[in-house]
Structure 1
Amino acid sequence: MTTRRDFIKMAGLTSAAMMVNPVDAFSNSIEKEKPEKENKWLDGSRLVVSVSMQFETGGQPENAESPFPQNMQKGYVDLPAETWYQYGYKEGIPRMLDNWDKHGIKVTSHMVGSAVLQNPQLAKEIVQRGHEAAAHGMNWSSQYAMSYEEEKTFIKAGADAVKSITGFTPVGYNANWLRRGQNTIKILQELGFTYHIDDLSRDEPFIIQANKKDFVVVPYTIRCNDIVLIEGKNFSSDQFFNQVKAEFDQLYAESEFKRRQMSISFHDRIGGTPQMVKTTSDLLDYMKKHTGVTFKRKDEIAKMTLQDKSSIRE
């Protein structure tokens, strides 16, 4: 299998050699057509799967989007919709936590500060069971519209809430619906974060510069995301299974010759339903049968990316 990177590299070498000896260059290019198999992850993994578990219930605004029609008259509270969100901490996250333990994997939980303050015991439990607590803002405010100082205060407040309750210092960040602003990454670096996920541009982590220092992007997903597929497109659980399986199969094939990361995202009130947890369990069973597949928290991925001299830099 010749990858695009191999093709570009080989084409450049062949062009230079052709100027010296056209016949030998052509023969050598055929012999080198098949790239050497390389270990693309520092720890020996073939494909890294990164699972997100969004902890948001309690951080949403009044009358936030829900499966109910958005037709409430002004001045009234959508009480049934509130219970839909409450399902996330009453049933959803506890069920998902048991499923992660069943499969022996650790995940990254992106925690909204106000949600953590309203449900401190659950937030503590997530960390006590070995999962990463990442920051997800203080509430569902739009960061891109904030001034520099407003946004810095907002991000810090959310991270401080997570640390004060769980004892875990967040090093990763996820803006509400990925809508960061021009100053977000600069602020994150100043506050001591090492990575963010609000980027869909690659299927592997990479390094950028923030304040002239290395900062990691651990790509997120909207393709393998329950809020997009189940809630947004009304996928059934078997459709979700097939979508995620197809993504996994393709990335696993590519991972024989290049570094690949697969992301899957679950939200407390959606991914924690019985049908979705059963479907997720079936997916994990399928993935674990493949040699070289590992499941990592995003802080682990960011750390490994910084240590790896072959990581992509932009």
Structure 2
Amino acid sequence: MTRTLTPRWLQRLLALSLLAPALAFAQERPWPDGAQLVLSFSMQFETGGQPEGAESPFSASPLPKGYPDLPANTWFDYGHKEGLWRLLDLWDRTGIKVTSHVVGEAALKHPELVKAIAQRGHEVAAHGMRWADSYNLSYAQEKQFIGDGVDAVQKLTGQRSVGYNANWLRRSRNTLKVLQDLNFTYHIDDVSRDEPFVTLVRGKKFAVVPYTLRNNDIVLIEGRHFSAEQFYQQLVLEFDRLYAEGASRRRMMSVSLHDRIGGTPAMVEAVERFIRYAQSHPKVSFMRKDRIAQIVLTEKHPLIDNSEAAYND
């Protein structure tokens, strides 16, 4: 039986043809400065904006109506008394800038804190006027709910929010159109991809910078009772996989920390260890979400996903 050998030049040509889609992807939408992976931290500022009876470690044994849950209130208070200040110091030590989604009422109750966030160079993004559901509001009600929160923060910081995060990501069918009316450029209430993308709202580009439930302290620490060490290991495993994939395609890693959870001593220790680990790798960038949105909105060939077109026309 005669064996047919493929010439080496043809083997190389075939190999290149198989790699072409991945190479084209990387060349078409590279990160600035050739970054292999971009990390983006969310610092949720909610303390003071929560309603009576909001979810807490005490929720499994709620008090009868009419009785204030004072211990639960102190759990939330930790966010503005300790947690956010500790996180701000962490960002200073590691030299990174983050996005803080701020509840309007929380900012009004703790103006010195929201001012410090802005003054230290972090993005102040919107999180509604109150920590409350908005998916069931009318168009006009939702516009006021979001707009009032933006106005409250802007009066204190001089910074007008361009990014939005709904309570528990539960936006309405009108949310993106409302955000467009209020001159927002992006939202994060999407967990469908590990990279930012563009969707069309009334025919115009609007950025989506995906959030995370995997690297999220309220889900893992409070919900699944991870230790700080387990949270660190989760971040490292996520980083390693996305960093490897980033050699051939655009990848983004999102991490979410809440004032009263991510700002505890053990969690800040774990997060700092992770940041140092990530910084030990070449071609790793840390970006605010408004910067990521700007990148995808201004590039010539963005990734476009119109899977929610029925709501955005």
In the alignment, structure 1 segments of 5+ residues that lack a partner are 1-23
Query: For the residues of structure 2 that align with 1:229 and 1:279, how far apart are their CA atoms?
Result: 14
Q: How many residues align?
A: 291
The alignment's TM-score, normalised by the length of structure 2, stands at 0.90
Whichever residue aligns with residue 34 of structure 1, its letter is: L
Deviation per residue, 1:53-89 (Å, 9 max, x gap): 0000011000211112332111111000000000000
Q: Determine if the alignment matches structure 1 residue 271 to structure 2 residue 256.
A: no
Whichever residue aligns with residue 18 of structure 2, its letter is: E
Deviation at 1:168, TM superposition (A): 0.5
Partner of 2:183: 192
SS at match of 1:34: helix
SS at match of 1:265: strand
**CA separation of 1:122/1:102 partners in 2, compared to 1, >3 Å: closer, same or farther?**
same
Q: Determine if the alignment matches structure 1 residue 32 to structure 2 residue 17.
A: yes
Partner of 1:9: none
Whichever residue aligns with residue 282 of structure 2, its letter is: T
Partner of 2:39: 49
Query: For the residues of structure 1 that align with 2:227 and 2:16, how far apart are their CA atoms?
Result: 48
Deviation at 1:313, TM superposition (A): 1.0
Whichever residue aligns with residue 32 of structure 2, its letter is: L
SS at match of 2:57: coil
Partner of 1:151: 142
Residue in structure 1 matching 2:174, options 183, 189, 197: 183
The question of whether the paired residues in 2 share the 8 Å contact of 1:54 and 1:110 is answered with yes
Deviation per residue, 1:122-149 (Å, 9 max, x gap): 0000000000000000112211110111
Partner of 2:81: 90
Deviation at 1:27, TM superposition (A): 7.9
Deviation per residue, 1:138-165 (Å, 9 max, x gap): 1122111101111111010011111011
Whichever residue aligns with residue 39 of structure 2, its letter is: V
- Residues 63-212 of structure 1 correspond to what in structure 2 (within 5 A)? 63-68=53-58, 69-212=60-203
The alignment's TM-score, normalised by the length of structure 1, stands at 0.90
In the alignment, structure 2 segments of 5+ residues that lack a partner are 1-8, 306-313
Query: For the residues of structure 1 that align with 2:36 and 2:11, how far apart are their CA atoms?
Result: 32
Query: For the residues of structure 2 that align with 1:166 and 1:30, how far apart are their CA atoms?
Result: 54
Partner of 1:12: none
**CA separation of 1:261/1:79 partners in 2, compared to 1, >3 Å: closer, same or farther?**
same
The question of whether the paired residues in 2 share the 8 Å contact of 1:237 and 1:279 is answered with yes
Query: For the residues of structure 1 that align with 2:131 and 2:276, how far apart are their CA atoms?
Result: 34
Deviation at 1:25, TM superposition (A): 9.2
Query: For the residues of structure 1 that align with 2:14 and 2:252, how far apart are their CA atoms?
Result: 30
Partner of 1:283: 274
Query: For the residues of structure 1 that align with 2:278 and 2:232, how far apart are their CA atoms?
Result: 12
SS at match of 1:143: coil
The question of whether the paired residues in 2 share the 8 Å contact of 1:185 and 1:210 is answered with yes
Which is worse superposed, 87-96 or 40-49?
A: 40-49
Query: For the residues of structure 2 that align with 1:31 and 1:156, how far apart are their CA atoms?
Result: 51
Query: For the residues of structure 1 that align with 2:195 and 2:16, how far apart are their CA atoms?
Result: 29
Query: For the residues of structure 1 that align with 2:300 and 2:231, how far apart are their CA atoms?
Result: 36
Query: For the residues of structure 1 that align with 2:61 and 2:302, how far apart are their CA atoms?
Result: 45
The question of whether the paired residues in 2 share the 8 Å contact of 1:174 and 1:197 is answered with yes
Identity of aligned residues (%): 56
Deviation per residue, 1:202-235 (Å, 9 max, x gap): 1000011112211000000000000000011110
Partner of 1:59: 49
Partner of 1:15: none
Deviation at 1:32, TM superposition (A): 2.4
The question of whether the paired residues in 2 share the 8 Å contact of 1:218 and 1:301 is answered with yes
Deviation at 1:33, TM superposition (A): 2.7
Deviation at 1:28, TM superposition (A): 4.2
The question of whether the paired residues in 2 share the 8 Å contact of 1:45 and 1:293 is answered with yes
Query: For the residues of structure 1 that align with 2:12 and 2:281, how far apart are their CA atoms?
Result: 36
Partner of 2:311: none
For the aligned residues, what is the CA RMSD?
A: 1.6
Deviation per residue, 1:262-304 (Å, 9 max, x gap): 0000000000000000000000010001110000000010011
